[in-house]
Amino acid sequence: MLTVTDYGGKEADVVRALEEDIIFGRLAPGTRLVEDVLLARFPVSRHTIRQALYQLEKLGVATRERNKGAMVRRLSPEEVRQIYEVRELLQRQAALMIPLPASEALIEELTEIHGAHSREVEAHNLRGIHEANDRFHLAMFSACRNDYLVSSIEQYMRLSLPVRANSLADPEQLKVSRRQHELMIEAMKQPDNQVLAQLCVDHLQPSKKVYLEEIGKAPGETP
């Protein structure tokens, strides 16, 4: 998965700051990312700003249109449904392919990451929550031993960032997410892949539901 660490110097600083503003809700979906406004905020060149916007587009959190410039990505209800249909297919298949019961080493790794995620939740560190959550799922799905499948899962995790981000600051959603992580770890100690696969699909639903409800309230949107 692309992250801001893939870029260097001032460009990385701009990308990281704007990515955080977007995925943590400080810049709402549909907000225009105006170059002159960004130049006033960041002491960098226009070229650096444009490169940063290009990288945000690659990360999946911004879009750029000819004669309109860049804006925070806003997913339509239909886009959300389609993205999540693919995510469900991919993640179910990966879960079905993981050899179970999982190795002690994998269980220990997931337990450690889950602990780190819980600590970030308790510290209210949004970026830490986001990064630990992604580490947990990628470590688990990597156990399916199909790099192309895991790469596809990464791609759709990135595409769904605007949807997933809404759960990061919601205590109730985080409580549910942490409990589901615990259930996944327990399921991986057993031989039934169907149980793990269903947990992985169920885990996707709360943030999707909340996002669809929110955009359904906006004028011109149909939930």
Over residues 5-37, the pLDDT tens digits come to: 444 478 888 998 998 888 777 888 889 999 999
* CB-CB neighbours of 54 under 10 Å: 15
Residue 122 sits in the same domain as residue 50: no
Residue 209 sits in the same domain as residue 106: yes
**To the nearest whole percent, how much of the chain has pLDDT over 90?**
63
Sheet holding 62-65, edge to edge: 32-33, 69-72, 62-65
Copy the structure tokens of residue 27. 């810049």
User: What average pLDDT does range 52-72 have in this prediction?
Assistant: 87
Q: What is the CATH number of the domain that holds 49?
A: 1.10.10.10
Q: Are 128 and 120 in contact, with CB atoms under 8 Å apart?
A: yes
Residue 65 confidence (pLDDT) above 60: yes
Residue 200 confidence (pLDDT) above 80: yes
Residue 221, domain member (yes or no): no
Question: pLDDT value at position 10?
Answer: 84
Question: pLDDT value at position 218?
Answer: 53
Copy the structure tokens of residue 194. 């169907």
Question: pLDDT value at position 213?
Answer: 86
User: How does pLDDT run across 125-178, given as a tens digit for each residue?
Assistant: 888 999 999 999 999 999 999 999 999 999 999 888 888 877 777 888 899 999
Residues of the domain holding 47: 4-71
Residue 119 sits in the same domain as residue 43: no
User: What average pLDDT does range 187-195 have in this prediction?
Assistant: 98
Question: pLDDT value at position 222?
Answer: 42
Q: Which long-range contacts (CB under 8 A, 24 or more apart) does 122-131 make?
A: 126/20, 126/24, 126/168, 126/169, 127/20, 127/24, 129/168, 129/174, 130/23, 130/165, 130/168
Residue 123, domain member (yes or no): yes
Number of domains composing the chain: 2
User: What average pLDDT does range 90-105 have in this prediction?
Assistant: 98
For all residues of the chain together, what is the average pLDDT? 89
Residue 121, domain member (yes or no): yes
Residues contacting 222, CB < 8 A, separation 6+: 77, 216
Residue 172 sits in the same domain as residue 149: yes
Residue 220 confidence (pLDDT) above 70: no
